[in-house]
């Protein structure tokens, strides 16, 4: 048995879980899909003494499309995100990214809230949330608050969540008319965490890029918006992208980390290549949508 | 579907005319065919009319495996079973200053904590052969549990036994061990430099081999071309899916019994020595093993389970976590190879000058022997008259290294095949033609002096592999390049000839005509037991389903030796063949006596003894034997070919029983911007002598190729300053179904092996060429040859960058 | 036979003999040593199984140690290798990183649950058997489960699609080709085609003829 003994409590509502977290303090951990928590426990890297299970809590599994935005419940699994037809229509980037997570078994159990809260710097969902400028709804025992994705992810496996706070949902803008999306990732093997992943959405107007949102995963301790690139591509025709983006290499201010899978230098190089591919892909989709 | 192009029974070797068409081909007047439908050729006289052998039958062990009912070592439990775990060193080099088990023992449910002093014979001695000119063995030692000094990260220091796994985990944390860090050495070259910290007293040089054949200096002086290359291989792990595991207990006779995942039931002797027990009081059972590949050749859990059982007098189970397996079990040697190769204008290889330096890690294990294999195989399947080889392996404070499929014969393929490509390129010759021109033939001697006694079908394997590969595919888009690489190799099968290798098998008819076969062979997944049944079915004329094989029991099955060195088909196969032939002869003799007829007129057919005008059903024949006091059981023992031990300066007419030859073709595509590699197609052709079960043979080839490709592109145990950073399968990158291409196995049958029915060993041989085939394909795709394994996207990009001037700034 | 006496225990670092017999402890163990148990009922391969077992047990531990179903294997404990794959309510999960208590009441299918009637090999198992899709067999239970989820979709898949579906299951022996062969053959099996006719089927239906309608 790889797990060490702990107390276990399942809750019916997220708020109950917040109460328990406040009661037990630091020693308590919430579990949703368990696809990040339990590998850590099995490897001896996490050892909660109380586990609060929200995986069977009610609610928070909806995909609500309204007023140009999509609200995604924290308990939606990666598999649901990847397969949901409403989401695919309203904001296809999210499902496409979710489909790239791990393997089928991870996607069956793993949840949106868990992935956001775990805040792996190479994870797909935090990345697309940052790219899309998502807002997270957080709950604690008595209140709720909203935090921008870019502020929420605060460092390597770290967020601004208070110990008794949970992610309840994420709200992303729907993909409006004129917009296209791109998602590019490179990993050592299919299903491994990305060495580098790039998410991009661009809006074409009059044959030129009117607006772009681009974010990178794996380049730092958290997903980063690439604001300088966004500015640099604005006003370009899709055909000009390639040369313009090449001229920007190496990407400014990126110093990705090294690990056993790749050096920082290689990651930085990949980021340059994948930005070009992702933005190109997004522009092509935007053109296609107009045609 | 592209699984195999070979019909059941294998693909025929091309006849003499076809072979002669290949340039420089060894003329193959002994070419045989497996007799697949529509295949023409001469049948092997040894094979005769085969009924069962050569058929792609389902394996005997598969029904249980696919039903999920096979009980592997860790699936087994006994009432009252306790659990054991090791406390391991967190440091690569340190003195142990204090050990205290009192807090652990105070935990309710903790049963015992053992330190080295509690082990009756804590020191295990290893013979390192050939290391003095007088052929005396150099003795290397290691402790079962380290007492005063640890030499690698993960070395066992304490053994903890507890009532439950929960208590065990907590108890292990409560064992207090203090260390004083010592300077370590983490690179074999640094280890051999003067003044390096000594891993063991007496210096860090663990083993050394030399070959001095012919006159190298003269050959280099007279060469048309000389090409040089250095190559580096990495630390890799067996990464079988089943981590090390075993259950031990005292049986009703007080015999210490270990049911463990192992390739070697004969370790009962080592366990007995450690415990100070007579060998007859220790028994090792090898259930079906969830993969071995050499990693379960040395002892893993055995001594610890044994100690725990003796200490607690209870059944005990020990299962290593994946982390432990990756951390502490011996791995494949990282090797540095430096080659200088001389050739004349026609492409004849004149000389090889080779230096090999291997990292043995902290303990000897089988390092010296692995290095011997590297030395013997270092020139590949080619005739080279002048060879100077210096091979050394050194102790370091890195994880120990030992046996792994290919056993030193693997790493050198990268060296000698890269050199062959380079020679061909330097001379403007075809890489294929160069290989054929230099191919060894029967009667040629390897640089060490061993003369090849069987067919060398290297040219035929090259032709077959290229034919199966077809045309090279085109790139899938801009910014991508496709490369094709070829690589050939030889790999020994059977153990070193001075090890007095033998294997025994017992076979007996039951009165209902079913057959019981007993053989000590451990079945590690290659279908070892099933192949024996297939041989028995052939000889005894019974169907496979009526044969039960009892295997892997050091007390109740005749000892058959290790499932290593691609030796089991040769050894146990021949033993089984011998036992079955003897049993058949007994049966005929019994019937002859009963009928009062000469035995010469009788033969065994499926279900009956048949003669001129007589047909005695098997059941009656068996009763006849009983009446005539003729036994219906037989023991067969096969002794491997013998030879004299080698000395450090290698020169021997025989070192191994025989070799298997093969050639591979790899097509791959490189994304020139990211360095990501997609394997498109892979073909591996080997002369297997005779395919006892073609599908098993294909399975061995495909599996070995998959491991070779993993080593080529993905796998590495990352160790920094002796600290093993690879803690799980999320970090150790075993290739997945999408990383591997369709692998086609082309099975050629020369009928020329030393195994039963002319079979050659095939378990290890196909693992080596992928390293070189991938390197060669990457060179074609990128313009520069990679030489340091694994060929990560980063290293591939470095090749692209290095050749960029040639191909223009932008791909 | 007069057996050689076994050596006496070599250490004093062992608890007195009586102390460690189960139940010999007078005082109950503190919670950390395993008194934290919970009764769960799962339907495992068609049978309701009710067991009291450690609360912190993974589904894999629960199946193997509490329910005695040992075909799912522990290969890594990280969710990577797939040796522990089982179907929970028809969907594949890594049982090593799901707590048993999280799936109380669920229906679990393991590889042995894919057998046909009377323990005969089920349809998928039969093709694995014939095509040597198992060598050492340690990955096989997980492979079968992943394959079952794929085959149950009722669609036929290309070899590339099958490989994609298998990428979360490691095999160190076969190189995957024979496993892909077996799944391809199973999907083409007329027996299966007759049942699915384009639609998805219950996983149980792919087990064997006896379970087919
Ligand atoms: C083999 C494997 C491969 C993987 N590959 C990838 C990959 O390629 N890309 C990728 O992005 N991820 C990958 N993952 C991780 C996976 O996506 C996880 O599912 C996800 O990161 C966590 O979701 P979960 O529901 O499983 O969370 P859990 O593991 O249950 O929890 C994770 C953390 O989040 C906390 N938490 C959970 N839910 C909430 C909530 N609603 N509010 C606040 N805190 C919460 C928990 O306390 C815990 O600290 C992989 C996992 C595995 C096992
Ligand atoms: S044991 Fe669960 S995925 Fe490896
Ligand atoms: S058959 Fe051994 S791991 Fe797949």
Q: Is residue C19 part of a domain?
A: no
Both B296 and B371 in a single domain?
Answer: no
B240 Cα–ligand 3 center, Å: 8
* Coil, helix or strand at residue B744: strand
> Inter-chain contact B3–C121, Cβ cutoff 8 Å?
no
Asked if the model's pLDDT at residue B31 lies above 70, the reply is no
Q: Is A46 exposed, middle or buried (0-12, 13-18, 19+ CB in 10 A)?
A: middle
Both B587 and B635 in a single domain?
Answer: yes
Q: Is residue C17 part of a domain?
A: no
* C interface test, pick of A99, A104, A106, A192 with most C CB neighbours within 10 Å: A104
Reported residue count of chain A is: 291
Query: pLDDT band at A252, cuts 50/70/90?
Result: confident
Both C120 and C147 in a single domain?
Answer: yes
Q: What is the DSSP letter of B35?
A: -
Of C92, C109, C126, the residue that ends a domain is C109
> Inter-chain contact C102–A55, Cβ cutoff 8 Å?
yes
* Three-point CA angle C199, C200, C201, nearest 5°: 120
More confident residue, C1 or B41: C1
Residue B699 CB–ligand 3 contact under 6 Å = no
Range of the domain at C144: 113-211
Percent of chain B predicted with pLDDT > 90: 84
Both B551 and B513 in a single domain?
Answer: yes
Q: What is the DSSP letter of B334?
A: P
Q: What is the count of structural domains for chain B?
A: 3
Mean pLDDT of A17-30: 94
CA A227 → CA A216, B160, B690, distances in Å?
Answer: 11, 56, 65
Both C122 and C206 in a single domain?
Answer: yes
Both C180 and C194 in a single domain?
Answer: yes
**Tens digits of residue pLDDT in B299-316:** 999 999 999 999 999 999
Residue listed under structure tokens 């062979």: B521
**Tens digits of residue pLDDT in C118-162:** 888 999 999 999 999 999 999 999 999 999 999 988 889 999 999
Confirm if B128 and B139 have CB atoms less than 8 A apart: yes
Both C59 and C143 in a single domain?
Answer: no
State if pTM tops 0.80: yes
ipTM comes to: 0.95
C13 touches chain A (CB under 8 A): no
Reported residue count of chain B is: 811
Both C93 and C125 in a single domain?
Answer: no
Query: pLDDT band at C31, cuts 50/70/90?
Result: very low
**Cross-strand pairs, C40:** C51
Relative to the CA of C172, which ligand 3 atom is closest? 3
- Average pLDDT over chain C reads 83
In sequence order, what are the residues at sequence separation of 6 or more whose Cβ sits closer than 8 angstroms to the Cβ of residue B260? Answer: B73, B245, B246, B247, B248, B284, B285, B286, B300, B301, B302, B305
End-to-end CA distance of chain B: 34
Q: What is the count of structural domains for chain C?
A: 2
Both B166 and B303 in a single domain?
Answer: yes
Percent of chain C predicted with pLDDT > 70: 75
Query: pLDDT band at B808, cuts 50/70/90?
Result: very low
Query: pLDDT band at B1, cuts 50/70/90?
Result: very low
Tell me the CATH number at B154.
3.90.1170.50
Both B294 and B378 in a single domain?
Answer: no
Of C109, C136, C168, the residue that ends a domain is C109
> Inter-chain contact A189–B733, Cβ cutoff 8 Å?
yes
Both C137 and C82 in a single domain?
Answer: no
Asked if the model's pLDDT at residue A161 lies above 90, the reply is yes
Both B579 and B714 in a single domain?
Answer: no
Asked if the model's pLDDT at residue A145 lies above 50, the reply is yes
In sequence order, what are the residues at sequence separation of 6 or more whose Cβ sits closer than 8 angstroms to the Cβ of residue B214? Answer: B351, B385, B386, B387
Residue A115 CB–ligand 1 contact under 6 Å = yes
Helices (H), B541-611: 568, 574-595
* Calpha distance B456→B197 (Å, rounded): 47
Q: Which range among A52-56, B191-195, B577-581, C30-34 shows the weakest confidence by mean pLDDT?
A: C30-34
SS3 content of chain A, % helix, strand, coil (to 5): 35, 25, 35
Query: pLDDT band at C206, cuts 50/70/90?
Result: low
What is the reported pLDDT for C157? 96
**Tens digits of residue pLDDT in B381-410:** 999 999 999 999 999 999 999 999 999 999
Domains and CATH numbers, chain A: 7-52 (3.30.43), 63-173 (3.30.465.10), 179-290 (3.30.390.50)
In sequence order, what are the residues at sequence separation of 6 or more whose Cβ sits closer than 8 angstroms to the Cβ of residue B109? Answer: B162, B163, B164, B167, B171, C20, C25, C29, C33, C34
What is the reported pLDDT for C197? 67
Of A4, A34, A51, the CB nearest to C97: A34
CA C192 → CA B89, B159, C154, C197, distances in Å?
Answer: 54, 52, 8, 8
Both B520 and B415 in a single domain?
Answer: no
Q: Is residue C158 part of a domain?
A: yes
Of B593, B622, B639, the residue that ends a domain is B639
> Inter-chain contact B702–C177, Cβ cutoff 8 Å?
yes
Q: Is residue B54 part of a domain?
A: no
**Tens digits of residue pLDDT in B710-734:** 999 999 999 999 999 999 999 999 9
Q: Is residue B218 part of a domain?
A: no
What is the reported pLDDT for B500? 85
Q: Is residue B219 part of a domain?
A: no
What is the reported pLDDT for B13? 41
Both C93 and C131 in a single domain?
Answer: no
**Tens digits of residue pLDDT in B600-629:** 999 999 999 999 899 999 999 999 999 999
Confirm if A181 and A282 have CB atoms less than 8 A apart: yes
Q: Is residue B39 part of a domain?
A: no
Q: Is residue C20 part of a domain?
A: no
Both C93 and C165 in a single domain?
Answer: no
Of C56, C89, C109, the residue that ends a domain is C109
* Calpha distance A48→A109 (Å, rounded): 20
Range of the domain at B626: 502-639
Relative to the CA of C136, which ligand 3 atom is closest? 2
* Calpha distance A142→A157 (Å, rounded): 25
Both B684 and B543 in a single domain?
Answer: no
Write phi, then psi, for B558 (nearest 5 degrees): -60, 140
Q: Is residue B552 part of a domain?
A: yes
Confirm if B395 and B197 have CB atoms less than 8 A apart: no
Reported residue count of chain C is: 213
> Inter-chain contact B739–A189, Cβ cutoff 8 Å?
yes
Of B267, B292, B319, the residue that ends a domain is B319
Q: Is B212 exposed, middle or buried (0-12, 13-18, 19+ CB in 10 A)?
A: middle
Min Cα–Cα distance to chain C from B90, Å: 21
Q: Is residue C26 part of a domain?
A: no
**Tens digits of residue pLDDT in B632-665:** 999 999 998 888 888 899 999 999 999 999 999 9
What is the reported pLDDT for B448? 95
Query: pLDDT band at C190, cuts 50/70/90?
Result: confident
Both C103 and C117 in a single domain?
Answer: no
Residue C172 CB–ligand 3 contact under 6 Å = yes
C164 touches chain A (CB under 8 A): yes
Query: pLDDT band at B566, cuts 50/70/90?
Result: confident
Tell me the CATH number at B585.
3.30.365.10
Q: Which range among A45-59, B30-44, B161-175 shows the weakest confidence by mean pLDDT?
A: B30-44
Q: Is residue C178 part of a domain?
A: yes
End-to-end CA distance of chain C: 61
- Average pLDDT over chain B reads 91
Tell me the CATH number at C93.
3.10.20.30
Q: Is residue B63 part of a domain?
A: no
Neighbours of A259 (CB within 10 A): 16
What is the reported pLDDT for C8? 56
**Tens digits of residue pLDDT in C51-108:** 999 999 999 999 999 999 999 999 999 999 999 999 999 999 999 999 999 999 999 9
Mean pLDDT of C202-207: 64
Both B359 and B484 in a single domain?
Answer: yes
What is the reported pLDDT for B527? 85
Q: Is residue C179 part of a domain?
A: yes
Both C120 and C199 in a single domain?
Answer: yes
Both C100 and C176 in a single domain?
Answer: no
End-to-end CA distance of chain A: 58
What is the reported pLDDT for B20? 31
Q: Is residue B666 part of a domain?
A: yes
Residue C83 CB–ligand 3 contact under 6 Å = no
Q: Is residue C68 part of a domain?
A: yes
Mean pLDDT of A236-257: 91
Closest CA to B419 of B665, B232, B227, B233: B227
Both B283 and B419 in a single domain?
Answer: no
Both B509 and B491 in a single domain?
Answer: no
Both C73 and C91 in a single domain?
Answer: yes
């Amino acid at each position: 048995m790889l797990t060490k003994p702990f107390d276990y409590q399942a809750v019916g509502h997220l708020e109950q879980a917040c109460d328990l977290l406040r009661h037990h303090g630091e020693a308590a951990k919430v579990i949703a899909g368990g696809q990040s928590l339990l590998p850590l426990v099995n490897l001896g890297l996490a050892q909660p003494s109380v586990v609060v299970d929200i995986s069977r809590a009610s609610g928070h599994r909806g995909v609500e499309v309204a007023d140009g935005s999509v609200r995604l419940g924290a308990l939606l699994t990666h598999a649901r995100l990847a397969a949901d037809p409403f989401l695919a229509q309203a904001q296809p980037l999210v499902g496409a990214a979710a489909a790239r997570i791990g393997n089928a078994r991870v996607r069956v159990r793993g949840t949106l809230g868990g992935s956001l809260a775990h805040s792996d710097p190479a994870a797909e969902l935090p990345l697309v949330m940052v790219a899309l400028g998502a807002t997270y709804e957080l709950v604690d025992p008595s209140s709720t608050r909203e935090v921008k994705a870019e502020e929420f992810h605060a460092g390597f496996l770290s967020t601004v969540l208070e110990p008794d706070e949970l992610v309840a949902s994420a709200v992303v803008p729907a993909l409006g008319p004129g917009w296209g999306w791109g998602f590019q990732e490179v990993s050592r093997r299919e299903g491994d965490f990305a060495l580098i992943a790039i998410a991009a959405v661009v809006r074409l107007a009059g044959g030129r890029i009117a607006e772009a949102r681009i974010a990178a995963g794996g380049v730092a301790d958290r997903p980063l918006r690439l604001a300088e690139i966004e500015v640099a591509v604005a006003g370009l025709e899709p055909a000009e992208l390639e040369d313009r983006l090449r001229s920007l290499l190496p990407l400014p201010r990126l110093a990705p980390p090294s690990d056993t899978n790749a050096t920082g230098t290689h990651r930085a190089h990949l980021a340059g290549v994948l930005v070009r591919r992702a933005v190109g892909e997004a522009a092509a989709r935007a053109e296609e949508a107009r045609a | 579907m592209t699984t195999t192009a070979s019909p059941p029974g294998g693909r025929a070797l091309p006849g003499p005319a076809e072979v002669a068409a290949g340039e420089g081909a060894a003329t193959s007047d002994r070419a045989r065919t497996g007799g697949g439908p529509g295949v023409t050729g001469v049948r092997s006289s040894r094979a005769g009319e085969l009924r069962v052998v050569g058929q792609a039958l389902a394996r005997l062990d598969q029904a249980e495996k696919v039903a999920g009912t096979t009980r592997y070592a860790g699936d087994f439990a006994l009432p009252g079973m306790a659990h054991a775990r090791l406390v391991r060193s967190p440091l690569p080099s340190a003195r142990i200053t204090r050990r205290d088990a009192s807090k652990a023992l105070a935990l309710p449910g903790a049963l015992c904590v053992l330190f080295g002093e509690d082990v009756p014979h804590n020191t295990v001695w290893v013979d390192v052969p050939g290391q003095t000119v007088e052929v005396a063995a150099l003795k290397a030692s290691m402790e079962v549990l380290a007492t005063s000094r640890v030499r690698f990260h993960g070395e066992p220091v304490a053994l903890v036994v507890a009532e439950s796994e929960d208590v065990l985990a907590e108890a292990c944390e409560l064992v207090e061990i203090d260390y004083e860090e010592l300077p370590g050495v983490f690179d074999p070259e640094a280890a051999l430099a003067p003044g390096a910290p000594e891993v063991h007293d007496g210096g860090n040089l663990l083993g050394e081999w030399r070959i001095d054949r012919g006159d190298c200096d003269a050959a280099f002086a007279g060469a048309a071309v000389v090409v040089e290359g250095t190559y580096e291989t990495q630390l890799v792990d067996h990464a079988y899916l089943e981590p090390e595991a075993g259950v031990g207990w005292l049986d009703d006779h007080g015999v210490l019994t270990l049911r463990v995942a192992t390739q070697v039931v004969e370790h009962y002797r080592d366990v007995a020595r450690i415990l100070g027990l007579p060998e007859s009081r220790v028994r090792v059972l090898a259930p079906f093993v969830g993969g071995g590949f050499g990693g379960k050749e040395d002892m893993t859990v055995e001594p610890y389970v044994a100690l725990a059982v003796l200490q607690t007098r209870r059944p005990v189970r020990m299962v290593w976590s994946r982390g432990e397996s990756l951390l502490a079990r011996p791995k494949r040697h990282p090797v540095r190879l430096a080659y200088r190769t001389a050739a004349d204008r026609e492409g004849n290889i004149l000389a090889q000058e080779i230096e090999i330096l291997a990292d043995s890690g902290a303990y000897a294990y089988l390092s010296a022997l692995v290095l011997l294999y590297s030395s013997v195989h270092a020139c590949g399947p080619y005739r080279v008259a002048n060879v100077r080889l210096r091979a050394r392996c050194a102790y370091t404070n890195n994880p120990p290294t030992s046996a792994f499929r290919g056993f030193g014969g693997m790493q050198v393929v990268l060296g000698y095949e890269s050199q062959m490509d380079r020679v061909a390129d330097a001379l403007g010759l075809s890489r294929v033609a160069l290989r054929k021109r230099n191919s060894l033939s029967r009667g040629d001697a390897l640089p060490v002096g061993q003369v090849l006694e069987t067919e060398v079908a290297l040219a035929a394997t090259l032709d077959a592999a290229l034919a199966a590969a077809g045309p090279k595919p085109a790139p899938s888009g801009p910014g991508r390049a496709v490369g094709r690489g070829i690589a050939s190799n030889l790999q020994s099968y059977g153990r070193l000839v001075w090890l007095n290798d033998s294997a025994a098998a017992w076979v007996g008819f039951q009165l209902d005509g079913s057959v019981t076969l007993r053989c000590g062979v451990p079945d590690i997944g290659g279908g070892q037991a099933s192949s024996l049944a297939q041989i028995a079915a052939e000889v005894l004329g019974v169907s496979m389903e009526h044969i039960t094989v009892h295997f892997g029991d050091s007390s109740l099955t005749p000892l058959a030796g290790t499932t290593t060195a691609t030796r089991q088909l040769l050894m146990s196969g021949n033993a089984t063949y011998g036992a079955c032939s003897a049993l058949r002869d007994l049966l005929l003799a019994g019937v002859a006596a009963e009928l009062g007829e000469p035995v010469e007129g009788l033969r065994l057919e499926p279900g009956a003894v048949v003669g001129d005008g007589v047909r005695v059903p098997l059941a009656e024949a068996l009763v006849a034997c009983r009446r005539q006091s003729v036994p219906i059981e037989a023991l067969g023992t096969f002794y491997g070919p013998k030879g004299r031990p080698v000395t450090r300066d290698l020169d021997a007419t025989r070192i191994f029983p025989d070799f298997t030859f093969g050639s591979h073709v790899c097509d791959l595509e490189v994304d020139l911007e990211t360095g990501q590699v997609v394997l498109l197609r892979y073909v591996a052709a080997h002369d297997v002598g005779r395919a006892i079960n073609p599908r098993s043979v294909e399975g061995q080839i495909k599996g070995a190729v998959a491991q070779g490709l993993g080593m080529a592109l993905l796998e590495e145990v990352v160790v920094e300053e002796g600290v093993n950073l690879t803690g799980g399968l999320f970090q150790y990158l075993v290739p997945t179904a999408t990383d591997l291409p369709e692998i086609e196995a082309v099975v050629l049958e020369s009928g020329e092996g030393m195994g039963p029915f002319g079979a050659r060993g095939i378990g290890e041989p196909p693992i080596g060429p992928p390293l070189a085939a991938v390197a060669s394909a990457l060179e074609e795709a990128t313009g520069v040859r990679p030489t340091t394994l694994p060929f990560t996207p980063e290293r591939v990009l470095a090749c692209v960058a290095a050749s960029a001037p040639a191909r223009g700034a932008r791909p | 036979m007069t057996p050689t006496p076994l050596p006496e225990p070599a250490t004093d670092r062992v608890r007195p003999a009586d102390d460690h017999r189960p139940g010999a402890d007078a005082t109950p163990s503190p919670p950390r040593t395993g008194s934290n148990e919970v009764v769960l009922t799962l339907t495992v391969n068609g049978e309701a199984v009710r067991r009291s077992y450690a609360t912190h047990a993974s589904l894999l531990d629960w199946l193997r140690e509490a329910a005695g179903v040992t075909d799912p294997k522990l290969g890594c404990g990280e969710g990577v290798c797939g040796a522990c794959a089982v179907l929970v309510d028809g969907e594949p999960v890594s049982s090593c990183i799901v707590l048993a208590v999280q799936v109380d009441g669920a229906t679990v299918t393991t590889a042995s649950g894919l057998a046909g009637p009377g323990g005969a090999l089920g349809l998928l198992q039969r093709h694995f058997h014939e095509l040597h899709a198992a060598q050492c067999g340690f990955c096989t239970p997980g492979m079968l489960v992943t394959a079952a989820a794929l085959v149950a979709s009722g669609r036929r898949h290309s070899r590339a699609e099958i490989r994609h579906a298998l990428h979360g299951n490691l095999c160190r022996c076969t190189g995957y080709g024979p496993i892909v062969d077996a799944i391809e053959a199973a999907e083409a099996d007329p027996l299966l085609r007759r049942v699915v006719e384009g639609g998805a089927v219950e996983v149980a239906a792919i087990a064997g003829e006896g379970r087919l309608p």
